[in-house]
Each structure stands twice: as structure tokens, then as C-alpha cells.
Amino acid sequence: MNPPPISNPTVALAAWRSRIHTILTNVLAWTGICAAGALASYNDHVRAGAPESYLNYFERWWVFHVPMMIFSAGLSLALTRWPALFDSKRRATLIYAGLLLLFLPGEWLFVAAVSLHNKGGGVTLHSAWQALLGMSKFDGFTEFAWMTGTFLTMVAMGNWRRAKARELAWQRSQTDNLNLRLALEQQRMLSLRAQLEPHFIFNALNAISALVRTGDKSVALTGISRLSDLLRYALSASLRDTVTIAEELQFVRDYLALQALRYGERLQIHIEGDDDVVQGGDCPPLLLQPLIENALRHDLDCHGGSSDIRLSFARSGKDVLINVSNPVSRHASPNPGMGLGLHNTRLRLKLSSAAASLHTELRADRFLVEIRMPLTVAD
């Protein structure tokens, strides 16, 4: 048989402190009400010419309202302990009716006994009952109004606190969900970068290998030097969330210079629309090079002629359009490569901005890749 769980002393002490704070808060609130009521009574008697000490009025008010202090404190504790108890209007009405039948007669009897004591009479159960029967309808209704108002106020405040707690809990859950989604997106971005770097290195080394096979050592050494510069940028840029389009264009030009060592005069590429505004925009790092590499694979690697690769930029409202196109020969042997370029680019665009997109299509005899993304200027 398992032993009963041991309560945490710290938690238990905090619970008791909370209960005591609730009771004291209700007593102080009613003390303030009694002070204001006693002052009103004192001023009325001053105008009538028969004043007493203000403390006498305050004492009577305070003693008369001791049952209401107990009632409001008990109701506050119940709302704290069982907040869902008053969520239903039907349940709240039944509780109110039960309290009306149990508490209100006792309060009337207490007020009658105190009134009898203040008049100097002996207080017995019989005399208190007789005083209760002789209580005016106005005094009886006043106590009923105090109880009803207290009940409605306490329930309204309890339900308001419960609604605020639910709202705060919902906000916390939304914040936690957003933080979790952000962490997942960051992990996905890191995963894509981890795939992209080996992919770029693999293809760049293939280009150097092709130069080495030609037997031209000086060209191969130049290619290795250019590859070193490219890898330095690729590794540093992959650690950043964004780079400028100008930086990406320079990286593309360096990459094309490396490829020109391999393809020579066959490599022909046209870049247009890269004005200062476009170049000042930011974009995910290593965005353009995979598109150029993809165009080379499906153009120069498929035939022995010259290339006709086009890279263009255009502004469209608050967006920038980037188009990369290359001729497609139906009879050329495909060179699929690793197949990661377009796939990773599309995913990385979506991670960088929900408004970004990548679209591919075969238009006439050209393969077109179109990127649309917000044109934002890096700080």
C-alpha cells in the first residue's frame, strides 16, 4: 500500500496566507463601509441637534455588520476554492436561495439581539425572537439588500477574476505555442543550411575536378583560390538570417567566374534590373546561387553550345520579383544532380516570410524560376 502524499509545507503556508489575506481584505472593506455609514448617521444627528460620539455610531455600524463580514469572507473563500461553483446561473441562483433561507434569518436574529442589547435589555433567545418580530420592514429589507448586493458583487468579482485568469492562461498558451513554432522554424532553417552547405561544396568540388582533368594546373589553382573565397562567404553567410541582394549578386558573380574557368566562352549569362533599391533589399543567404547552378545543369551540361541564362530583377509594389531562366532542349540528356537546390530554396523562402513564394514553369522552350518576396531594406 502506497503511503499518503506529503503536502509541501511552503505551499500549505502560502495557502493559509492567501486565506488570511482574503479574510482581512473583506473585514477592511466592510470597516470602510461602516466608517462611511457611521459618518452619515453622525451628520444626520448633528443636524437634528442630538449628536453622539462618532465612535459610538461607528461601533454600532461595525457590530451590526459583523455577519456581513463573515458572509462576504466566506463567499470569497468559496469562490477562491471552488471558482467553477458559480459559473452556471442556475447553480448560482440555487446557492443564493439556500443562503437566503439559512443566512438571512440568522442575520435578522443577530441584528435584533444587538439592538436589544444596545437598549439595555437582557438578551435571551426568546427576547431576541420577540425583537425580531418587532423589526421594521425597512430594517429587514435593508439587511436583505445588503446580503443580495454582497452576493452579486462577490460572484461578479469572482467570475471576473476567473475570466481574467482564463484570458492570461490563453495568452500564455499562445505565447508558448509561438515560441515553440519559432524554435521549430529555427531548427528547420538550421537543418536546411546543414543540407545546403555540403550540397554547394560538393558541386563546387565537381567544378574543380573538371578543371583538374583538363590538365591545366594554373587554371585549376585559380579555381581552387576562387573556391576558397566562395566557401568563406558561404560559411559566414549561413550563420546570418539575412544578407543583402547586393552581397548575393557578388557571390553569384564570383561563382560564375569560377564556372567560367570550366566552361570558357560557352558561359553566357545576362543580369538586368539590379538597381540600387533592389540591391539594398535583404534576402535569405545563399538564395541565388542554387538557382544559377540549377540553370547551368539544365543548359551547359546538356549540350555543347553556348548558354543563354538570364537573371532579372523587377519591383512590383512592395515586392521584388527575381526570375532565372534557361533554355530547355527536349532531346538533351537530363542532369538531375542532387535535386536539393529548388526544394531548399522554396522551403527557406517560406521560413523567411509567409508572403514569399517560388514558382517554376516551362514557358515556350525555357525553364523559368520566379521568386516573389517582400522588398525590405536591411538595417
Q: Which residues contact 288 (CB under 8 A, 6 or more apart)?
A: 248, 249, 251, 252, 311, 322, 324
Query: pLDDT band for position 352 (50/70/90)?
Result: confident
Q: How far apart are CA 54 and CA 50, in angstroms?
A: 12
Kindly tell me if the per-residue pLDDT of 1 is higher than 50.
Answer: no
DSSP result, 121-173: ----HHHHHHHHHT--HHHHHHHHHHHHHHHHHHHHHHHHHHHHHHHHHHHHH
* Tens-place pLDDT, residues 214-256: 666 777 777 777 778 887 887 787 778 788 999 999 989 988 8
Backbone angles phi, psi at 306, to 5 degrees: -85, 160
What fold characterizes domain 214-374? Heat Shock Protein 90 (3.30.565)
Q: How far apart are CA 265 and CA 268, in angstroms?
A: 7
Helices 66-81 and 9-48: crossing angle in degrees, nearest 10, is 150
**Contact predicate 73/27, CB 8 Å:** yes
Domains of the chain, residue spans: 9-175, 214-374
Find the angle CA(28)-CA(32)-CA(35) to the nearest 5 degrees.
Answer: 135
* Tens-place pLDDT, residues 124-155: 665 555 555 666 666 667 777 877 877 888 77
**pTM (predicted TM-score):** 0.50
SS3 325: strand
